[in-house]
Amino acid sequence: MKHLALLFSVLALGFALEVGKLPSPLILEGDTGGIISGKAFSSDILKTKVHVLFYVDPDEKELNEHVSIALKEQAFDRNKYASVAIINMAATWLPNFAISSSLKAKQEKYPDTLYVKDLQSVLVKQWDLKDDSSNIVLFDKEGKVLFIKKGKLNSEEILELISLIQDNI
């Protein structure tokens, strides 16, 4: 019985993301968050296209803005490439209603990016992403991790990210 409890504990915690591997399944809904529209977010969505995922503390939203600009300039084919922005709302002192309002406006302004709320730092706990920071993860069409960066990307890392996207779309 103790072994079964330990197994469930490990499964509940998830696993750190690793390049070349599928992430542990993740769902944000209800008290844990979800898509801005109110629907649940499932990591299963990170398949069929190459996906870049930004996981951001609202207080650190400018940290990798240069990456967003560089990717936008590439004008990747949206039939083969998608972007997801998950906001770590537990990492800030800003009230959730203010962040939610801002995200709804961003979703309308940037309809090609899917905006998601993480109300309890679930990706920090389950995927070992960096809290109070900006993280970027790239997934291939099968949902495997191609690239992970916790913190600010430098110019070489941006070129690597762009190259990986080009090679996999």
Name the band, by pLDDT with cuts 50, 70 and 90, for residue 158.
Answer: very high
Q: What is the pLDDT of residues 32-43, one digit of tens each?
A: 999 988 899 999
31 within domain boundaries? yes
Give the phi and the psi of residue 113 in degrees, each rounded to 5.
Answer: -105, 135
pLDDT number for residue 13: 53
Domain membership of residue 70 (yes or no) is yes
Is 7 within a domain?
Answer: no
Structural domains counted in the chain? 1
Q: Would 133 be classed as within a structural domain?
A: yes
Percent of the chain topping pLDDT 90 = 72
pLDDT for res 75: 94
- List of long-range contacts for 125-131, beta carbons under 8 Å, 24+ apart: 125/13, 125/14, 126/13, 126/14, 126/15, 126/24, 126/26, 127/14, 127/15, 127/16, 127/17, 127/23, 127/24, 127/26, 128/14, 128/15, 128/16, 128/17, 129/17, 129/55, 131/57, 131/88, 131/91
pLDDT on residue 14: 60
**Single pTM value for the model:** 0.87
Asked, for residue 124, whether it belongs to a domain, the answer is yes
Q: What is the pLDDT of residue 148?
A: 97
Residue 15 has pLDDT above 90, yes or no: no
C-alpha torsion angle, residues 108, 113, 118, 122 (rounded to 10): 170
For residue 7, pLDDT over 60 is answered with no
Whether 1 has a pLDDT exceeding 50, the answer reads no
